Copies of this chain bind each other. A is one copy, B any other.
Amino acid sequence: MSYSDFATLPCTLSRPAALLGERWTLLLLRQIFLGTRRFEDFQATMDISRSVLTDRLNVLLQEDVLKRVPYHEDGRTRHEYRLTEKGRDLYPVLMALRTWGAKWMAPDEEEFFQLHHRDCGGDVRAKVECTECAAELTARDVQVTTRQ
């Protein structure tokens, strides 16, 4: 079993983990959620090599996380990369990373960006809950049943 086999295991955790676990992919998604959409802007802000950027964008297009959308500027037609619904749905993953980072890897300096609930100005955090009783859960509250 090689790395890429985890992308096809019948496991709803290994599949996303293999996809997003490739180098640069999480950082690329961060940049996208921050509003970057164009090849040149990804390249300039992240300083990723152009060939790897091409590859990662293509993988995310293929997985239907991103879509190429035409736009007009100076009367020209170009394309930009935007999140699909599937891609937007990755928000909790990024927020879970950020919530963890805020607790355990917080920088001394000022934060690079801040997030607030539009309606009430409150802070944003990720959590795990039970769909039945709505209790907030930690790893210890959850029973794992492995197949066989």
Chain A residues close to B by CB (< 8 Å)? 1-3, 6, 9-27, 29-30, 33-35, 46-48, 83, 86, 88-133, 135, 137-147
Report the nearest B residue to A93, measured CB to CB. B96
| Bound: A92/B96 CA distance, A | 6
Interface of A, secondary structure class, is: mixed
Closest chain-B Cβ to A88's Cβ sits at a distance in Å of 5
Which residues of chain B are within 8 angstroms of A27 by Cβ–Cβ distance? 3, 6, 14, 17-18, 21
Which residues of chain B are within 8 angstroms of A125 by Cβ–Cβ distance? 128-129, 131
B119 and A133 within 8 A (CB) = yes
| Bound: A127/B103 CA distance, A | 17
Choice from B95, B107, B129, B138 contacting A11 with Cβ under 8 Å:
B107
